[in-house]
Copies of this chain bind each other. A is one copy, B any other.
């Protein structure tokens, strides 16, 4: 299977990517342990998911040791950009403004975070 430019990882795939992004390369055992903190998940379920993700080129695998080590094949940043872009198109008629408005209303955002966002906007406005 070949990596698709616009592939949207599933929920389960996103959970696994999140664990690997946050903790770095890991074994199935370790990923499965963390999956179980969110939701009961059998070991072979996690294994199978991760094997399929290698086929989809969402993960890389080092199988030089008996315990294979998995790592993300796609970056957190690119994935976020990709998924947000799709969401803006599908649910916000292409308007990033609408999504931002909704996000700021939907979730609590601390004063410090608000300041950070304003700073970014100012930089964009200044054409950086």
Beta-carbon contact of A104 and B100 below 8 Å = yes
Asked whether A34 is an interface residue with its Cβ less than 8 Å from the other chain, the reply is no
Within 8 Å of chain B (Cβ to Cβ): is A120?
A: yes
Q: Does A84 contact B (CB under 8 A)?
A: yes
- Give the oligomeric copy count: 2
A53 to chain B, nearest CB (A): 16
The tally of residues in A whose CB lies under 8 Å from a CB in B reads: 45
**A residues within 8 Å of B by Cβ?**
11, 14-15, 18, 22, 77, 79-81, 83-85, 87-88, 90-111, 113-114, 116-118, 120-121, 124-125
Pull 29 A–B residue pairs with CB atoms less than 8 Å apart, ordered by A. A14-B90, A14-B91, A15-B90, A77-B102, A80-B91, A80-B102, A80-B106, A81-B102, A83-B87, A84-B87, A84-B103, A85-B107, A88-B103, A88-B106, A95-B113, A96-B106, A96-B107, A96-B108, A96-B113, A97-B110, A97-B116, A101-B117, A101-B120, A104-B120, A104-B121, A104-B124, A114-B124, A114-B125, A117-B117
